[in-house]
């Protein structure tokens, strides 16, 4: 991707120097991603931090105090922060223009950088969760170490693969601003048997919104040869079927929350080809 290194975005909160943020793991004894999603839905619907009720049996809800230290980073990390800053600002300026064309106002999201564990508006989380967006505080969160995992574990190489990840999380912010996220949470509450299927539609739409942004980068001649393939590969690499097969050896479609590899890549490509919000009606589509 063609980008110009510069300063740090004004919408970045660098909390990599914090410690003592608590958190939970996806392994044995932790809350788990299923529990996280349930509590996220309840917190959003009832405007209450249900995450505070876990950890000490609901008797002591105060999270551990976090301390902050100066951020130490390598030259490679510094460049990665500059790249993330560029993508963050570019994605959000793109959506600001799209919203303006539709007669709406776009409120920028914040991107929180952290290491190991973090306290968010949706509770405490660890790096193992991967990047996420919290609709309760309108912030996206990422441990930059995830990009190493994206390359080594998922085989998704290239800077545009990294850009896709961030654009996807900001796609959730767009959904929040448009009220889509809240409608889906209400539907999930009313139809718990459809909660996973609705989550898949929501995630695929965020992939599609990432594609809408990518469309503008192509029109502005910011893409290098192979960039589109990098994003498509990254989208496919984090498909539910691939992740389940890699972690448990079997695939259980009923447990999907983000969509298959084929679906994720396909919806990103739809957004890329269409370049409009209207291209991303995952809820009205058959597949």
Q: Which tens digit of pLDDT belongs to each residue from 71-123?
A: 788 888 899 999 999 999 999 999 999 999 999 999 999 999 999 999 999 99
4 vs 86: CA distance, rounded Å:
8
**How many CB atoms neighbour CB 148 within 10 A?**
11
Q: Which tens digit of pLDDT belongs to each residue from 218-251?
A: 999 999 999 999 999 999 999 999 999 988 999 9
**How many CB atoms neighbour CB 117 within 10 A?**
22
Mean pLDDT of the chain: 85
Helices 227-237, 261-274: inter-axial angle, 10-degree rounding: 140
- Note whether 22 and 52 are within 8 A (CB): no
pLDDT exceeds 60 at position 59: no
pTM, to two decimals: 0.83
90 vs 223: CA distance, rounded Å:
13
Residue extents of the structural domains in the chain: 12-280
| DSSP line for 14-34 | E-TTEE------SSTTS-HHH
């Amino acid at each position: 991707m063609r980008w110009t290194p510069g300063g740090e975005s004004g919408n970045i909160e660098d909390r990599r120097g914090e410690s003592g943020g608590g958190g939970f793991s996806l392994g044995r004894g932790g809350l788990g991603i299923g529990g996280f999603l349930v509590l996220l839905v309840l917190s959003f619907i009832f405007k209450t931090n249900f995450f505070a009720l876990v950890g000490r049996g609901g008797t002591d809800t105060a999270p551990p105090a976090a301390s902050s230290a100066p951020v130490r980073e390598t030259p490679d990390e510094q460049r990665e922060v500059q790249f993330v800053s560029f993508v963050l600002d570019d994605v959000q300026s793109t959506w600001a223009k799209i919203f303006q064309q539709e007669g709406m106002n776009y409120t920028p999201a914040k991107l929180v950088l952290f290491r190991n564990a973090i306290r968010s508006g949706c509770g405490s989380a660890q790096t193992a969760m991967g990047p996420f967006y919290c609709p309760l505080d309108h912030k996206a969160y990422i441990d930059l170490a995830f990009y190493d995992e994206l390359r080594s574990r998922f085989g998704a190489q290239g800077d545009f693969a990294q850009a896709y990840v961030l654009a996807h999380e900001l796609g959730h912010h767009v959904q929040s601003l448009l009220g889509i996220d809240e409608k889906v949470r209400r539907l999930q509450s009313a139809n718990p048997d459809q909660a996973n299927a609705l989550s898949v539609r929501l995630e695929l739409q965020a992939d599609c919104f990432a594609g809408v942004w990518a469309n503008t980068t192509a029109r502005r001649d910011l893409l290098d040869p192979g960039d589109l393939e990098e994003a498509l590969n990254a989208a496919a690499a984090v498909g539910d079927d691939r992740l389940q097969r890699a972690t448990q050896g079997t695939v259980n479609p009923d447990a999907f929350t983000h969509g298959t590899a084929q679906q994720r890549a396909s919806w990103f490509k739809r957004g890329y080809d269409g370049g409009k919000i209207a291209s991303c009606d995952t809820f009205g589509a058959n597949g």
